[in-house]
Amino acid sequence: MIVVMKQGTRDDQLEDFQRILDGLGVKGHFSKGVHTTIVGLVGDTSRVDIDSIGSLSYVETVKRIQEPYKSANRKFHPDDTVIDIGGHKIGGGYMQVIAGPCSVESEEQICEVAKAAQASGATMLRGGAFKPRTSPYAFQGLRAEGIELLLKAKALTGMPIVTEIMSGDQLPLFDEVDVIQVGARNMQNFELLKLLGKTNKPILLKRGLANTMEELLMSAEYIMAGGNMQVILCERGIRTFETATRNTLDISAIPMLKRLSHLPVVVDPSHAAGIPWMVEPLSLSAIAAGADGLIIEVHNNPSKALSDGPQSLRPAEFDAVMKKIGGMMGYMGKKS
């Protein structure tokens, strides 16, 4: 952290600043120039509040040099994290395709979609039991019953299941869930993240619609600070001025997150665009950019879907896309 003092800062103010640094347990390297004094902070600055330093009356500006995350930081953990989910590995050259409907609607629906998705090559099953809907009048998910149905589909197919949690008090229902998903709207629900940090389950953490990559990594850090190191980052499109697609897939986030962090990065092309025909080109580009996984919506009857129907692929469409995905995975040297 580099702190630039205001012009005319007095010696007693520099001494005051020295005392503050002592209290924070970091060292300051003071460089007095003709016009200004610059202080370089050395040590563990991840606990130093950049805003508090910036509010000191004699400080002109503060710039962080080190990233504010530690457990998620590749600098301190150079090797890729590989997460094993029921025998399917993700990260470190391993890539998986997670497929399923937006919402679990019935036993028949989830089992039928699971079998079809598996037959096309998907290795994990997704499906929403608790649904975050913008409108209180929209279908809110089957909730506890939805998780039971997912477990039936798991029993039938052997596929590990991925499903979203919306509140800490739902946690007991997730005992047999393989991967707990945190949705974009809850990326900064810090109380929930803290609770998930105490579990020993892989967490699929979706990037918020208007959150920076650094904020995503800080939310991963919340989970990791609690002891749970199994975090999978998910890019699912950000909110911009463009309206031709529902969100804007930030493809650069894949290589950037993988450079900043050792955590696996998966991409959700279904929510990113909100357009079924775009799942194929976005999936291929995500793999080409280095993604460790894909989450794709598949529904056996999209026009009857209780949520997000329009963006889902039908099983036959998904099968065609999976052939292209498999080819690109092979070309890019991805193991599954």
Binders of a copy of itself among residues 10 to 39 (CB under 8 A) are: 29, 31, 33-36, 38
d(CA 291, CA 197): 24
d(CA 128, CA 150): 9
Residue 118 as a binder of a copy of itself (CB under 8 A): the answer is no
Residue 321 as a binder of a copy of itself (CB under 8 A): the answer is no
**How big is the site for a copy of itself, counted in residues (CB under 8 A)?**
105
d(CA 178, CA 202): 7
- Tell me the closest approach of the beta carbon of residue 314 to a copy of itself, in angstroms: 10
Q: Are 307 and 104 a contacting pair, CB within 8 Å? A: no
**Structure tokens belonging to residue 89:** 């590995």
SS3 label, residue 266: strand
**Structure tokens belonging to residue 335:** 């193991």
Count CB neighbours of 232 within 10 A.
27
Which residue, 113 or 159, is less far from a copy of itself as judged by CB?
A: 113
Which residue, 15 or 87, is less far from a copy of itself as judged by CB?
A: 15
Binders of a copy of itself among residues 147 to 166 (CB under 8 A) are: 166
Which residue, 148 or 215, is less far from a copy of itself as judged by CB?
A: 215
* Binding piece for a copy of itself, criterion CB under 8 A, among 75-83, 103-111, 198-206, 298-306: 298-306
Which residue, 159 or 229, is less far from a copy of itself as judged by CB?
A: 229
* Binding piece for a copy of itself, criterion CB under 8 A, among 84-92, 117-125, 153-161, 305-313: 305-313
d(CA 208, CA 205): 9
Which residue, 85 or 187, is less far from a copy of itself as judged by CB?
A: 187
**Beta strands in 33-166, from DSSP E residues, in sequence order:** 37-42, 59-63, 83-85, 88-90, 96-100, 124-126, 161-165
Which residue, 154 or 250, is less far from a copy of itself as judged by CB?
A: 250
Residue 82 as a binder of a copy of itself (CB under 8 A): the answer is no
What x-and-dash track marks residues 46-75 binding a copy of itself by CB under 8 A? Answer: xx-x-xx-xxxx--xx-x-x--xx------
What x-and-dash track marks residues 237-276 binding a copy of itself by CB under 8 A? Answer: -xxxxxxxx--xxxxxxxxx--xx-----------xx---
d(CA 127, CA 113): 10
**Structure tokens belonging to residue 177:** 């869930």
- Tell me the closest approach of the beta carbon of residue 12 to a copy of itself, in angstroms: 15
- Tell me the closest approach of the beta carbon of residue 74 to a copy of itself, in angstroms: 14
One-letter identity of residue 278: M
N residues, the chain: 336
Q: Which of residues 278, 319, 326, 336 is near a copy of itself by CB under 8 A?
A: 278
Binders of a copy of itself among residues 166 to 225 (CB under 8 A) are: 166-170, 185-186, 188-192, 194, 208-210, 212-215, 218, 221-222, 225
**Beta strands in 9-53, from DSSP E residues, in sequence order:** 27-32, 37-42
- Tell me the closest approach of the beta carbon of residue 293 to a copy of itself, in angstroms: 15
Please, is 277 exposed, middle or buried when counting C-beta atoms within 10 Å of its C-beta (0-12, 13-18, 19+)?
exposed
- Tell me the closest approach of the beta carbon of residue 303 to a copy of itself, in angstroms: 5
Kindly provide the b/e burial profile for residues 243-268, where b requires at least 16 CB atoms within 10 angstroms of the residue's own CB.
eeebbbbbbebbeebbebbbbbbbbb
